[in-house]
Amino acid sequence: MTDDPQKFTSVDDYIDAALYGVEERLAEMRQIIRAAAPDAEETISYNIPAYKHEGVVVVQFAGHDEHTSLNFFPTAGVFAAFATELEPYPTSKSAIRLPLDMPLPTDLITAIVTFRVAEAAEYAARKKTGR
């Protein structure tokens, strides 16, 4: 037996192994993200579900004992654009914490993912042109 944490190879594996009874909530987050970014590549990054657009990680999500989180980096653009909408939610350097005792803010998650897809496309375009 090893003390190494489980290494996930797919989003299905991550959701299936979820603790704290958040499997349904994680599945719902996945559905919201996939609807908002249908062309994003679903992968595992830093051992949590991640969605890439044009090679850029747009958003990740994770389950915890008291919340689920929507993670992304850099955060400055999202935090500035959605300052009012984010007021009810605790945030960290790279995440929005969505308390388990509150319903998922579907419209807000959709808007953030859409915003991040646009940021990723802009970054990819600048990178291609060398600007």
- pLDDT for 1 equals 36
Closest Cα to residue 14, out of 53, 43, 38? 43
Phi, psi of 79 (to 5 degrees): -60, -35
Name the fold adopted by 11-129.
Aspartate Aminotransferase, domain 1 (3.90.1150)
In 3D space, the residue among 22, 85, 87, 80 whose CA is nearest the CA of residue 49 turns out to be 22
pLDDT at 4: 55
Question: Region 26-47: what's the mean pLDDT?
Answer: 97
The domain limits of the chain are 11-129
Tell which residue, 128, 110, 44, 115, has the closest CA to residue 81. Answer: 115
52 with 58: CB under 8 angstroms? yes
